[in-house]
Homo-oligomer: A and B are copies of this chain.
Amino acid sequence: MLIDNLQYANWSEKIFRQMREGGVDAVHVTVAYHENFREAVLNLEQWNRWFERYPDLIMKGQWASDVDIAKAKGCTAIFFGFQNPSPIEDDIGLIEIVHTLGVRFMQLTYNNQSLLATGCYEKEDTGITRMGRQVIKEMNRIGLVVDMSHSADRSTIEAADLSARPIAITHANPYSWLPALRNKKDDVIRAVTKNGGMIGFSVYPHHLRGKSACTLQDFCEMVARTADTFGVQHFGIGTDLCQDHSDSVVEWMRVGRWSKEIDYGEGSAAAPGFPPMPEWFTDNRDFGKIENGLLAVGMNAEEVAGIMGRNWYRFYEDNFTPEK
């Protein structure tokens, strides 16, 4: 079973076919960065059209069992997520609405302060807000997973502790391996994993030691070491693959409508665009290389199966349905 728990590509038949070639059973795809509710719904409508048009390649994923159905049919289950809470606006009732529409992950922040928590690019981190506490409770009730990938440390630790159900960091790596604002310090990883949460290892170059030049072996050794430290069952893959996008898209991700000035985020004025992917992972056909790389650094078959999909599958089983 192969699950990638974060991609945001410029979706096309070509990419869906690459998912099939790569044997990818499920992908969690981003359907909003800065969109309000109505705009996020337009993105869901676009996905409905793709589901209608490519039924042999993709299907809508809502529950863990849809991964099995996709596997049996030979297509890829697509699970929706928001990288920002902007689609729920200031309306807690929209949590159940977006869950009904199939959304299964929601970041409480995207780099900046939100109505709910503090993003990882803010100078001060004041933790979970008044609305944030209400929203976490409602997300727990409904089965919408709290994702803190782009959140600041204190906010993330508070979210992990406040949430009655496990939370996720869908795409990031340890700060101890590469000290980037988006990577996670050990305290953060510990808070998430000790509460049953999951972390997806990213292959986005800004999260890799050596960036685009990072070697497969270095990446796999980092995975094995982190799994060893915090418990392998808490880790999976969340590549953050942003395939086939023009650089204007990474600008939209970084700036949305919130600034009139350019903000380079993880990039710089000298390198404002998407960084080149490492040569060992450029599209959905490359998961086998990671799998073999993990075996090569000494992880056993069961551990590798967990990292490559089984751990996310188990997390989906426990966390997408309403609270009992």
Residues of A within 8 A of B (CB): 37-38, 41-42, 44-46, 48-49, 91, 93-94, 96-97, 100-102
Contact = CB atoms under 8 A, between A and B. Distances in A.
Contacts of A101: 97, 100-101
A259 to B, nearest CB: 26
Nearest to A101: B100
A196 B49 CA distance: 29
Contacts of A49: 93
A248 to B, nearest CB: 24
A203 to B, nearest CB: 33
B45 A91 contact: yes
Contacts of A38: 37-38
Nearest to A60: B100
A94 to B, nearest CB: 7
Contacts of A94: 41, 45
A48 B142 CA distance: 11
Contacts of A93: 42, 45-46, 48-49
A38 B39 CA distance: 11
Question: Top 7 closest A-B pairs, CB basis?
Answer: A45-B93, A48-B96, A100-B101, A41-B97, A38-B38, A45-B97, A48-B93
Contacts of A97: 41, 44-45, 48, 101
A138 to B, nearest CB: 10
B41 A37 contact: yes
A42 B91 CA distance: 9
A48 B38 CA distance: 19
A44 B97 CA distance: 8
23 contacts: A37-B38, A37-B41, A38-B38, A41-B94, A41-B97, A42-B91, A42-B93, A44-B97, A45-B91, A45-B93, A45-B94, A45-B96, A45-B97, A46-B93, A48-B93, A48-B96, A48-B97, A49-B93, A97-B101, A100-B100, A100-B101, A100-B102, A101-B101
Contacts of A46: 93
Given A44-B97, A48-B96, 16 more contacts: A37-B38, A37-B41, A38-B38, A41-B94, A42-B91, A42-B93, A45-B94, A45-B96, A45-B97, A48-B97, A49-B93, A97-B101, A100-B100, A100-B101, A100-B102, A101-B101
